[in-house]
Structure 1
């Protein structure tokens, strides 16, 4: 199969998703690397490039998502889909959608500039303030009271708008839930709000409520490969952030698992595309026969319908983990 990985400049030296691309190449597939900030992309011949799928690792306000949406508009499968990525990449949009869908999410406010934070009701403090286009835990601040706003320094050239969330009381560390299809892995992570608390980043036993919550988030947002930051509160797990293509740190055999699922999604999409023309052709050729059969069923009361058979998910490749890291050249991988 043939893939195009859209990788923003920010992630050129990070292992994810370049190790996924290299794993696919080791399995005999072709991968092209597209870096949006250094590439002129022709929009007129996207379908002629014959990619089985586009895979995106983007920053919140980067150009990669525009290219992914263009590929999707041209009928090319994408992993994840562009709507889901947009929903989670804008933190204010993510919060509004999660809250509307009944997910356990903190009370949140959108503010266009830091001066507006003083208008948030005092009873909603402490607040967690973060940029709506932030990522990797950068630019997050805990504000315990309105008096601390005078000391807050959040404005900068890369900051767009702000999300202010009511602080959720928790043990002082984050729980990262990594999801690959229906498989969920839980990892403890140190919190950017509690840097003095010593936390060991390690794989945790998966609680049933974490599993249920992680899968529900994927169904609601339409994500296939994703992660969510969860806090354990007195009332149960609370989601505070969702990521469309996380690092999968501490997940066993993460590279082969993610690469295998990317391959599975691309194969499923290819089968669906191949079935559509056959289905249309069958309707055109068999229309008169179907009408005749329907007429016979009316007269005899006998049906020739066949029960639908579902196709099971194929076994994922059992290939050893790839440990490749470092810079990946833009262009073709063979």
Structure 2
């Protein structure tokens, strides 16, 4: 970083404890270089607990399954009849398939205790289980542009869709929901991100996952949109710098 000149950073990391060294290095050596998604937002998205706690505290108009942040609280919820799903708190663990990041959906307190006994509490995330859904919807956001698609069985997706099929899996986004998603991005500090959500029986969208800088593999125009956004970000910054230099001269 000291040797080469950088105009912009795109920070996309697997979830590792060593990532803190990367955050510290960028903050120390290149604090004024723009980042597509803020380092704080990337760090937050490494942990489900931090991400959903942020939504609970700062985006109260977005619906999410209720989260429980300790084994004790999750146990009390189960005693009250609440269905719980147990996941690993780390969001993007290296070399771990998506279906292995879910520990299970205990039917009772005994099953719950059995499922968590071999894990550290801080490595787990507990959330209300809303049930099985055949359709998972995804929203992809690039700056102020957003598109939503359907995803049949997100753990076993068909990767060989034709261009026509890619168009047909798109679904309209409720305008109010779109505004709230874009507002969430501004609050957390992300301009390029993805949201997974389901539609509950009462018709409300519930967010079940957040991804910083997703793959966009099912969005053919995403490459050009991301490229344009990067170009505009760098260009606008250069204009600001030139203006400041002229003002000082």
**If the TM-score is normalised by the length of the shorter chain, which range does it land in?**
0.7 to 0.9
Give per-residue Cα distances to partners, 1:155-210, cap 9 Å, x unaligned: 579x96111111235743211111011111112124468x7xxxx98322333244
* 1:29-178 matched pairs, under 5 angstroms: 45=2, 49-61=4-16, 63-64=18-19, 66-73=21-28, 74=30, 75-101=32-58, 102=60, 103-111=62-70, 117-123=74-80, 125-135=82-92, 137-138=98-99, 139-140=101-102, 141-149=104-112, 152=115, 155=118, 161-169=123-131, 171-178=133-140
Over 3 Å counting, the alpha-carbon distance change for 1:276 and 1:241 in structure 2 is: farther
Q: Distance in 1 between matches of 2:239 and 2:17?
A: 31
Is the CA contact 1:170–1:231 (under 8 Å) kept in the aligned structure 2?
no
Q: TM-score, normalised by structure 1?
A: 0.59
Tell me the secondary structure at the aligned position of residue 49 of structure 1.
Answer: coil
Contact 2:45/2:51 (8 A) holds in 1: yes
In the alignment, the residues of structure 2 paired with residue 213 and residue 168 of structure 1 have an alpha-carbon distance, to the nearest angstrom, of 21
In structure 1, how many angstroms separate the alpha carbons of the residues matched to 2:20 and 2:235? 22
Aligned to 1:185: 147
Contact 1:56 1:65 in 2 (8 A): no
Q: State the match for 1:227 in structure 2.
A: 194
Count of residue pairs brought into register by the alignment: 228
Shift of 1:68: 4.4
- Aligned in 2, Cα 1:154/1:147: closer, same or farther, shift over 3 Å? closer
Instruction: Provide closer, same or farther for how the CA distance between residues 153 and 219 of structure 1 changes in structure 2, counting only shifts above 3 A.
Output: same
Aligned counterpart for 2:229 among listed residues 231, 250, 261: 261
**Structure 2, unaligned runs of 5 or more:** 157-164
Q: Tell me the distance in 2 between the aligned counterparts of 1:124 and 1:61.
A: 35
Answer with 1 or 2: which has the greater Rg: 1
Give the alignment partner of residue 241 of structure 2, picking from 270, 273, 277: 273
Match of residue 160 from structure 2: none
Q: Distance in 2 between matches of 1:212 and 1:51?
A: 33
Aligned residues: CA RMSD: 3.1
Could you tell me which residue of structure 1 aligns to residue 205 of structure 2? 237
For structure 1, list consecutive stretches of 5 or more residues without a partner in the other structure: 1-41, 283-334
State the distance in 1 between where 2:133 and 2:150 align: 11
Preserved contact between residue 131 and residue 163 of structure 1 (Cα < 8 Å):
yes
Cα separation, partners in 2 of 1:150 and 1:216, compared to 1, 3 Å: same
The whole-number CA distance in structure 1 between the counterparts of 2:235 and 2:117 is: 45
1:124 to partner: Cα distance: 5.7
Q: Distance in 1 between matches of 2:18 and 2:243?
A: 33
Q: In 2, Cα distance between the equivalents of 1:50 and 1:169?
A: 50
